[in-house]
Structure 1
Amino acid sequence: MTGQRETGQAGRVIFTRGGLPESIHTVHVAVVDGGGQQVASCGDADLVTFPRSSSKPVQALPLALAAPELPGDELAIACASHAGTPEHLAVVARLLARSGSTVADLRCGTHPPFDPAAAADLIRRNEAPTPLHHNCSGKHAGMLLACVLNGWPREGYTEHAHPLQVRIRELHAELGSVTLNHVHAGTDGCSVPAFALPLHGMARIFARLAAPSGPLAPALERVFQAMTAHPFLIAGPGRLDTTLMPLVPGLAAKMGAEAFYGMALRETPHGPLGIAFKVQDGGERARPHIALAVLEALGVPVTEEMRALAPATLHNWAGREVGGVEVEVPLKWA
């Protein structure tokens, strides 16, 4: 068909039951080296898609640039999709106070904490969640501080035309090596702009985290160090980013809604790499299986502790084995 993009074989995660495929999740992967060149892919590396919260390291860059002395834990929470534990909330509150802001200034909305224990504790105390419990509250607190430090108004900081969001869109284009008109804008679940760009562009952004260069290098390095030094703050108990990063030397990883994932890898046989993948149907249960398969394909040793994050067998509530998981990641090297 005229105009149709040529793509390689897509990856798949196949959940089986009784020896038969029950669910199949299609996956697209892009891998970029430290020099910004795409070195491998699987499926459609040109797929234009929303990284959602995988964009948070980019969204935190204006803060990192404006506040070079900011403590690492506060920069980490600005990159986080946190679980709403007391530890998370304490860091968000500290970051929020730096701009003279309060919880009432957060425009992220409200949902119960992702962490079941934190959510249950609110119920026991007969307290309703506040915007502080929203998984994006750290990002919003960081955005408010970035506005104050740059002399931008705090009012309307979530709007597409606000100087902060204009700059964040420009950073996606600059770091992803795409033109600005190839960065498409939508609205995220927390009300800030969500930017979509080709998958290889997001892989390039994570490659820049793995191998910072140019004028943004100090800020990129600070974001990388904050994420890797504070994996608990990036997500929370039992969540993939928090559990995977300490198990892989030199890895900064960030999940996004609808089964997007970005990884900045500093230690591979191929040198520093940036990886971005999208499970096309948004099936988030496929994400850890693809993450481990990609790491293994890139020569990163996968330990038994890592494999426990993506079990190959399925069990029912009675503990009986009822199925399995098959993973296919046919990376095509450039």
Structure 2
Amino acid sequence: MTQTETQAARVVFTRGDVDESVHAVHLVVVGGDGTTFASCGDPELVTFPRSSSKPVQALPLALAAPELPSDELAISCASHSGTPEHLTVVLRLLERSGSTVDDLRCGTHPPFDAAVAAELIRRGEAPTPLHHNCSGKHAGMLLSCALNGWPKEGYTEHGHPLQLRIRELHAELGGVNLEQVEAGTDGCSVPAFALPLSAAARIFVGLARPAGEYVQALERIFAAMTVHPVLVAGPGRLDTTLMPLVPGLVTKMGAEAFYGMGLRHSPHGPLGMAFKIMDGGERARAHVALAVLEALGIPLTPELRALAPATLHNWAGREVGGVRVELPLAFS
């Protein structure tokens, strides 16, 4: 272990009295001043927030379009489910930059919403890039280019002015040097930026309690995501269900079991949290999120506990096992 590293958290799935599966978790909580408040595992783990970066990727849009409707700003931060409600907002955002679905470079996958995906199959229709969960982000990027005088062509490339600016913003908001922000390519073809877990947590506390140069734009992003949680994800998904249950909480999931949370109000003041489940086991995400909120003094209502059941049932409804979270938080 490094000097800052402690024992990692674990989410353990049991069957009967036997531990069947274990997910290791690195987690860090920072306070309003950006310093580490609590952690378990390695708070300086360098990892990809993936879609948890979307509020940062939307910041150039928020800065360039201060009058943009909040639902369009929310969809630019979204990993949406491809419902008609989502698609309507994405199309409106595309229209603002004179773009069409053909200009989206995110690729295509079936809608995350099972009912919408089934309806496409029933009608014999193939999904389009509009159904991709990142289409709102890409539509927002196209508008950012149009408003900033950058070419829309090549907007997904690492050397494009928009992507260079987004990398700079990750460093600024994360409180790290630009050299500490490493680049890969995301599933939707835009750059994915890796940075220390503590830097990601600072991004989220800055989203929950904005300050400094970008305060107004970040406040609008926070408001858009918390007022329109159904646009950020979709019915039945964690971001959409969790945010309305905890006042002042903004959350954003990332692929491969990353999660970022910004808490505006807690017994300890504003807090930012980021965690990475090392095996990418996304089924453990809600369990970790609720465990850390409870550890930080947020009471878990029955509605919250229902998001991460402690017992496991089979298809016949029989109880067959359980889930426990081991969260050895070390407070600074």
TM score, norm. by length of structure 1: 0.98
- Superposed CA offset, 1:183-229 (max 9, x none): 00000000000000000000000010111111111111000000000
How many residues matched?
A: 332
Q: Which residue of 2 aligns with 1:8?
A: 6
Q: Which of 126, 130, 133 in structure 2 is aligned with 1:132?
A: 130
- 1:176 deviates by 0.3
CA distance in 2, matches of 1:169, 1:136: 18
Q: Which residue of 2 aligns with 1:194?
A: 192
Q: Which residue of 2 aligns with 1:293?
A: 291
CA distance in 1, matches of 2:253, 2:30: 18
Secondary structure of 1:140's counterpart equals helix
Secondary structure of 1:40's counterpart equals strand
Confirm or deny: 8 A CA contact 2:4 2:43 kept in the other structure.
no
Q: One-letter code of the match for 2:230? A: F
Q: One-letter code of the match for 2:224? A: A
- Superposed CA offset, 1:92-127 (max 9, x none): 000011000000000000000000011011111111
Q: Which residue of 1 aligns with 2:252?
A: 254
Confirm or deny: 8 A CA contact 1:48 1:197 kept in the other structure.
yes
Q: Which residue of 2 aligns with 1:101?
A: 99
- 1:320 deviates by 0.8
- 1:322 deviates by 0.6
Matches within 5 A, 1:1-334: 4-334=2-332
Confirm or deny: 8 A CA contact 1:34 1:210 kept in the other structure.
no
Secondary structure of 1:216's counterpart equals helix
- Superposed CA offset, 1:7-48 (max 9, x none): 111100000002100000000111111111111111100100
CA distance in 1, matches of 2:124, 2:155: 32
Confirm or deny: 8 A CA contact 1:263 1:274 kept in the other structure.
yes
CA distance in 2, matches of 1:30, 1:66: 32
CA distance in 2, matches of 1:100, 1:328: 51
Q: One-letter code of the match for 2:132? A: H
- 1:6 deviates by 4.3
| Aligned alpha-carbon RMSD (Å) | 0.8
CA distance in 1, matches of 2:301, 2:251: 17
TM score, norm. by length of structure 2: 0.99
Structure 1 gap segments, 5+ residues each = none
CA distance in 2, matches of 1:150, 1:33: 33
CA distance in 2, matches of 1:212, 1:285: 31
- 1:329 deviates by 1.1
CA distance in 2, matches of 1:266, 1:163: 32
CA distance in 1, matches of 2:198, 2:189: 25
CA distance in 2, matches of 1:6, 1:138: 38
Following TM superposition, where does structure 1 have runs of at least 4 consecutive aligned residues deviating by more than 3 angstroms?
none
- 1:5 deviates by 5.0
